[in-house]
Amino acid sequence: MNRTGSTKERILGAAETLFAQRGFDGASLRQLTSAAGVNLAAVNYHFGSKEKLVEQVFRRRLDALNAQRLAALAKVAGQPGTRLEDVLDAFIRPALELSHEDGGSLFMRVLARAFAEHDDGLRKFLSENYGHVMRQFTAEFGRLLPRLSKEELYWRIDLVTGALTHAMSGFGIIQRKSDVSERAHREQTAQHLIRFAAAGLNAT
Amino acid sequence: MNRTGSTKERILGAAETLFAQRGFDGASLRQLTSAAGVNLAAVNYHFGSKEKLVEQVFRRRLDALNAQRLAALAKVAGQPGTRLEDVLDAFIRPALELSHEDGGSLFMRVLARAFAEHDDGLRKFLSENYGHVMRQFTAEFGRLLPRLSKEELYWRIDLVTGALTHAMSGFGIIQRKSDVSERAHREQTAQHLIRFAAAGLNAT
DNA sequence: CGTATGCTCAAACGATCGTTTGAATCCCTC
DNA sequence: GAGGGATTCAAACGATCGTTTGAGCATACG
């Protein structure tokens, strides 16, 4: 039972863990509040409903994640010397760094679940709040791959998305021993992902 | 409400659809039996429990799918002129053909869900019953990519798996108008997937 | 000190869950 | 057409779900 932080933060932390492990339906508010060490009614008091809690779990991480992604993209987008690998780095690295924050790796798993669930409400929420991020990256990929038709470009970005989501949802669960090897591990992972994605996007 | 076929088949069909749409937890036996046009108790009578029903939903499709995959692999594995694309074709084409069977495209979505759920029981079931298929494909990929280390090979196969699962779970939902354009669409899709995956596996 | 205000608490709400029961019905065999 | 195993049925089981309630507690301000 977690006893650090405010009630809201404890609920969000426990929700992230349990949603990752058992899914949005599978994790009950009783398991959740029990793990957070708060009263059952606290969820509805602080968040209004379970569905709103799910949205806040996403918001807490995605606001920061996508701000970092857009900031990293802005540094390379439109520049003359920019390579495909630089844009992919702007997309991937913030997510990998998040995976090594406290609970961050579990959040990537929650995100992977949200992709697999074809729930309309959740997709609409994610699209409305964070769709512009994917749109900006798509535009830059298109600029760097002018020989691809629009259809082909969308296909490949979708495939890259699937590969990265799948890979990152399983990444970072096993904790490294020291901070040095953790950074090395993250760097190695980033290289694996970027090399694969760049080659796939660049396929003849 | 479906009224064709035996009770068992109607349950399996409705289960596939509802599991794809609402997940294993989200789809209740009452919704399921109501959609199948059978009595609520029929699930426990014919399958024993909801969990056993889930396993049978997988078994019904995966037995045929993986047999086709292994048969296609056997035709090219170890041959002198075999290319990466041939092995990927053996893996992808049977799944795409399944997607155009009745309800098949929904099954790919169920499979994508099973990947996202990190449920231990389900993973154990899939690994025990169908792990040998991935092992054979991995061996052949390793043969065709001798310059990759074991670690790199596993990374890339994992990324390919994620990309294909993600892409195929959204494929085939929209029905094509005539059989000719459906076959053309499938062929085009196969080419997209194979080109991307081959380039990714082959990355420097 | 009195009283708002924000929060926590145990308890209960009705709804829905997977499963079980025992009787009714179907269908094949003798 | 009588007997019997296979199947279907309505009904109920206890458990658990998300949510609501109203009393109780804390802290801060006049």
Domain residue spans of chain B: 1-48, 55-201
> Could you tell me which residues come within 8 angstroms of residue A168 by beta carbon, excluding any fewer than 6 positions away?
A95, A96, A99, A108, A112, A193
CB contact under 8 A, B165 and A166: yes
Distance from CA of A77 to the nearest CA of B (A): 23
Asked whether the beta carbons of residue A199 and residue B197 sit closer than 8 angstroms, the reply is no
**CATH no. for B1-48:** 1.10.10.60
**pLDDT at position A105:** 81
What the block records as the tokens of A101 is: 């924050």
pLDDT tens sequence across B124-160: 888 888 999 999 999 999 999 999 999 999 999 999 9
Mean pLDDT of A163-185: 76
B169 pLDDT band (50/70/90 cuts)? confident
Q: What was the pLDDT predicted at A22?
A: 94
- The residues, any chain, with a CB within 8 Å of residue B54's CB and separated by 6 or more, are B15, B19, B24, B122
CA distance A137 to A139: 5
Chain A residues within 8 angstroms (CB to CB) of chain B = 20-21, 23, 25-26, 109, 112-113, 115-118, 152, 155-156, 158-167, 169-170, 192-193, 195-200, 202-204
Mutate to test the interface with B, among A109, A119, A196, A202 (most CBs of B within 10 A): A196
Residue A204 banded pLDDT, cuts 50, 70, 90: confident
Q: Which of B113, B152, B202 sits opposite A199 (nearest CB)?
A: B202
pLDDT tens readout for residues B87-98? 999 999 999 998
Query: Would you say B87 and B77 are in contact if contact means Cβ atoms under 8 Å apart?
Result: yes
Residue A117 confidence class, pLDDT cut points 50, 70, 90: confident
Q: How confident is the model at residue B119 (pLDDT cuts 50, 70, 90)?
A: confident
Distances (CA, A) of A106 to A17, A96, B99: 6, 12, 31
Nearest to B125 by CA among B61, B29, B70, B56: B56
**Interatomic separation, CA of residue A143 and C1' of nucleotide C19, rounded (Å):** 58
Q: Which comes out higher in pLDDT, residue A2 or A145?
A: A145
Question: What is the complex's ipTM, to 2 decimals?
Answer: 0.89
pLDDT above 80 for A133:
yes
CATH of B55-201, one of 1.10.357.10, 3.40.50.450, 3.40.50.2000, 3.40.190.10: 1.10.357.10
For B139, other C-beta atoms within 10 Å of its C-beta total 12
Domain A54-201 is found in CATH 1.10.357.10? yes
Report the C-alpha gap between B163 and A148 in whole angstroms.
Answer: 19
- How would residue A177 be classed by pLDDT, with cut points 50, 70 and 90? low
CB B90 within 8 A of CB B72: yes
Q: Is the pLDDT of residue B171 over 80?
A: no
Q: Pick the closest to residue B169 from B98, B114, B117, B108 (CA basis).
A: B108
The tally of CA atoms less than 13 A away on the side-chain side of residue A81 is: 1
CA of B50 to C1' of D10 (A): 21
To the nearest whole Å, the CA of A151 is away from the closest chain B CA by: 10
